[in-house]
Amino acid sequence: GAGVSQTPSNKVTEKGKYVELRCDPISGHTALYWYRQSLGQGPEFLIYFQGTGAADDSGLPNDRFFAVRPEGSVSTLKIQRTERGDSAVYLCASSLAFRDRIVFGSGTRLTVV
């Protein structure tokens, strides 16, 4: 597609529920990134995929967070047993290859109530 697409744009969920956030990168982009931006802060790195594999998942805060990219294109960020502290904007980005110019999607705003 023309840009990085993230769905849904907004998600409200109850504490303890499971959520999935989807990212469609730009067609042909092999590198895909997930970031999280809490209110009043800069985006924080979560995980980076090169193709289908997670090349760096050092930013995932704990084992409730998991991300997949099974066919090297669309990625899903999964959060189990959501907590109020997970409320943030989750940003996805992609680039043609590692270290190429990175393009961000508009994000999914997650609110845990």
Partner 1 sequence: GEDVEQSLFLSVREGDSSVINCTYTDSSSTYLYWYKQEPGAGLQLLTYIFSNMDMKQDQRLTVLLNKKDKHLSLRIADTQTGDSAIYFCAPHGSEKLTFGTGTRLTIIP
Positions touching partner 1 (CB under 8 A) are 33, 35, 41-45, 48, 55-56, 59, 89, 91, 93, 99-107
Shortest Å distance, C-beta 22 to partner 1: 16
Shortest Å distance, C-beta 103 to partner 1: 7
Nearer to partner 1 (CB atom), residue 19 or residue 43: 43
Nearer to partner 1 (CB atom), residue 7 or residue 80: 7
Phi-psi category of residue 77: left, alpha or beta, with phi > 0 → left and psi -120 to 50 → alpha: beta
Shortest Å distance, C-beta 102 to partner 1: 6
Nearer to partner 1 (CB atom), residue 66 or residue 104: 104
Shortest Å distance, C-beta 28 to partner 1: 18
Nearer to partner 1 (CB atom), residue 56 or residue 83: 56
Residue type, 104: F
Residue 54 has which token pair?
A: 């997670």
